[in-house]
Amino acid sequence: MKTQNYDDKQHICAGTGLIALDVLINNRTSTEPTQFYAGGSCGNVLTILSYLGWKSFPIARLSNTQATALLLDDLSKWKVNDDLITVTEDGSTPIIIHRILEEKGGERKHRFEFKNPENGSYLPSYKPCLAKDVNDIFSISPTVDLFYFDRINRGSINLAKSYKANGGMIFFEPSNMKEIKKFDECISIADIVKFSDERIEEYQKVYSLGVAPLEIQTLGNRGLKFRRKGIKEWIEMPSFQIDDVTDTAGAGDWLTCGILSSFFKIGKKIDELSDLEIIEALKFGQVLSAMNCTFEGARGLMYNISRTDLILCVKHVLGLSEKRIPQRSRPKKIFQPKNNSILISSLF
C-alpha cells in the first residue's frame, strides 16, 4: 500500500462570518470596469484556502438576489463548496463597496463603503447563521480540520464547540470586543485568536496573559506580534516591505491563510509547535500578504498567478536575508478584467 505524504492530504475547512459581495471600483482611472468578487473576511479566507488546495465549506444564509448570483459564481471559479450556503427570502447578502483611491502625492489607498453611491441608502448587511440550524449544518459536514469564524453570535459559537469536540482546530478572528461574555466564550474555545490593533486596542488590558494557545495581533505596516497561552510578553515581528503598493485590502486574510497552510503542513497541534515553527509560519503568511498588496482587490493575487508559481515566489523571498521583497521575486500581472456595467441598485 502506498503511504500518503502529509503534504498530499486535502485538508477540510468550514467557516462562518462575513461573506459578502465586494464591488471593486477604481477611482484612479475612468477606464477600469467595476468588478464583483466574493469577499468579507470569512469569504476571503475560505476562498484563498481553496486556491491553496483545501476543501472549503462556507456557512452562510444569503438572499435570493443578483448579488448572491455574482458571489456564488466567483466562489465556483475557485471550487469552493456551497453545500452549507442557503439562499432564502429571509437571508441577506452583504454588499461592500471597495473603492481604490490615489492621494495627491501619488500614494494609493482603499476605502470600504456601506452605502449605495447611487442613492445614499444603506447596502444589505450581515445576518448570522441561526442557532436552531446548527445541528443540521453540522450533520452535513461533521468533521473538519479547521473551523474559522469572525463574528460573535450564538450560532457561530455553537458550531465552534461542535467542531472542536470533533477534533477540529478553531480559528477566531474578531472585529470587536463589544459582547465581552460571548467574547470570553469564543477565546476559550479557540486554538488561534488573531485580531488587528486598529479594531481591538484593549485586548492585552483585559487579558494580561495569553488565553488561547496562540494569540496574534497585527500592527499594519509595522508587522505583528504573538504570544502563547499563559504568557504575558509578546514576540514582535516586523513586516516585509514592498515599494509599489497597489491595494492593502485583504492583507490580513492572506496572512491568516499562510499561517494555517504552514501549520497544517507541519502537522502538529498549536501547543506542540516551537516558537521557531510559529515564526516561520508567520513569515510565510507575511510574504503572501505583502505580495497581494501589489494587486487590486482583496484576493487579486490569485487571479494573476498559479498556486505552484506563487509558492516558488514565496520560497525565494524567504531564502533572502533582507526584509524587502524585490521586484524580480513577485508574480507578473496578467489579469484582464471583464467589463461589468451593472447598477449597484440592481444587486439587491
Looking only at the bridges linking them, the beta strands covering 169-172 and 146-149 are parallel
Confidence of residue 3 (pLDDT cuts 50, 70, 90): very low
| Confidence at residue 242, expressed as pLDDT on a 0 to 100 scale | 84
Predicted confidence (pLDDT) at residue 33 exceeds the cutoff of 90:
no
Neighbours of 107 (CB within 10 A): 9
Q: Find, among 34, 190, 25, 189, the residue nearest to 111 by Cα.
A: 25
Whether domain 8-332 has CATH 3.40.50.720: the reply is no
The per-residue pLDDT for 31 is 64
pTM listed for this prediction: 0.92
The string of pLDDT tens digits covering residues 109-133 is 889 999 998 899 999 999 999 999 9
Confidence check: pLDDT of 169 > 90: yes
Residue-range domain boundaries for the chain: 8-332
- Using CA atoms, how far residue 315 sits from 13, 220, 264, 311, in Å, is 24, 23, 17, 6
pLDDT mean over 225-231: 98
pLDDT value at position 343?
Answer: 73
Q: Is 90 exceeded by the pLDDT of residue 12?
A: yes
Looking at residue 135, its pLDDT comes to 94
